[in-house]
């Protein structure tokens, strides 16, 4: 048991850094995922994870696989896509979901093209799917900084974020914090996607953000409990995913996300809120409830 569960994290520094980075991501990204889900913006997170790709690719083209240029590029690209999609939806007849989809598809194609111009297929896979087992100290400090900013922002603006999720019009009518909280939240989404990009790549970073949050909703209706449970599910997913990838020689990022997906499916079946098995076993009770 020790050799399977503990030894990889004791004997190998790269496993220790991967575990530290994954745990920090779980602490910050999973609560953000809860608010994305409650706002019915789950697919927005997926779109934004693709939107950071051109900026990261630009940093890669100019400086190679260096964390600071790729991070700054990702933040700038994410901000441009968010503002651009919002402007199109505000000043044209197109809805925000359609404009965001258009922007993220353009961003994804542009980013892949930019990486392909200079890099090899290995570099492209690194950008798209990340290398959690190759996290260095600089990446860990970045992820730690993002976690601190995220947790501090959630602590200060928690009630306002919950209020905007439940009734944004009421929040705007009683407080001027509505627009500020909205843009602050979008900033936290982009920040955590950039942090997740360092470990899981652009295509999988949103998985650690959304799957634990979606699974937690099958067990509780309280936002605080939901966020805490999402963090626990994220931590378990990271631990199990890293162990599976180590012992089975599988890609670590997909392993983490697949474990989170398995927990989501189990939660959907047996969770205490809206479980599929309960609805199948007692269909009349749920119809009259």
Q: Looking at residue 211, what is its pLDDT?
A: 92
Quick check: 174 pLDDT over 50? Answer: yes
Mean pLDDT of the chain: 80
Question: pLDDT exceeding 90 applies to what percent of the chain?
Answer: 21
User: What tens digit of pLDDT does each residue of 27-38 get?
Assistant: 999 999 998 888
Confidence at 289, pLDDT banded by 50, 70, 90: very low
Q: What is the rounded average pLDDT of the residues 149-154?
A: 93
- What architecture is the 2-203 domain classified under in CATH? Orthogonal Bundle (1.10)
Cα distance between residue 156 and residue 4, in whole Å: 41
Q: Which segment of 58-67, 157-166, 252-261 scores lowest on mean pLDDT?
A: 58-67
Q: State the DSSP H helix or E strand holding residue 199, giving kind and residue range, or none if neither.
A: helix 177-216
Residues 6+ apart with CB under 8 A from 247: 4, 8
Q: What is the mean pLDDT of residues 116-136?
A: 67
Assess whether pLDDT exceeds 50 at residue 288.
Answer: no
pLDDT digits 0-9 by tens, 152-172: 999 998 888 888 777 666 666
Give the whole-angstrom CA distance, residue 210 versus residue 47.
Answer: 12
């Amino acid at each position: 048991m020790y050799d399977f569960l503990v030894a990889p994290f004791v004997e190998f520094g790269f496993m220790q850094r991967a575990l530290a980075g994954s745990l920090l991501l779980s602490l910050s990204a999973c609560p953000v995922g809860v608010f994305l889900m409650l706002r019915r913006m789950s697919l927005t997170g997926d779109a934004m994870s693709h939107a950071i790709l051109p900026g990261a690719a630009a940093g890669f083209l100019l400086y190679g696989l260096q964390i600071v240029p790729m991070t700054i590029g990702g933040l700038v690209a994410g901000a441009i896509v968010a503002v651009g999609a919002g402007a199109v939806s505000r000043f044209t007849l197109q809805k925000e979901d359609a404009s965001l989809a258009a922007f993220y598809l353009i961003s994804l194609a542009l980013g892949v093209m930019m990486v392909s111009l200079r890099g090899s297929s290995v570099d492209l896979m690194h950008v798209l799917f990340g290398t959690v087992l190759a996290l260095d100290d600089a990446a860990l400090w970045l992820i730690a900084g993002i976690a601190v900013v995220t947790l501090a922002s959630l602590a200060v603006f928690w009630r306002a974020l919950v209020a905007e999720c439940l009734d944004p019009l009421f929040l705007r009518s009683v407080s001027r914090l509505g627009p500020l909280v909205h843009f602050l939240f979008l900033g936290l989404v982009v920040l955590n996607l950039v942090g997740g990009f360092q470990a899981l790549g652009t295509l999988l970073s949103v998985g650690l953000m959304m799957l634990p949050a979606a699974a937690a909703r099958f067990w509780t209706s309280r936002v605080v409990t939901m966020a805490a449970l999402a963090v626990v599910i994220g931590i378990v997913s990271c631990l199990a995913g890293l162990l599976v990838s180590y012992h089975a020689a599988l890609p670590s990022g997909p392993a983490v996300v697949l474990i989170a997906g398995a927990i989501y499916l189990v939660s959907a079946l047996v969770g205490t809120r809206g479980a599929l098995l309960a609805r199948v076993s007692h269909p009349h009770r749920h119809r009259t409830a």
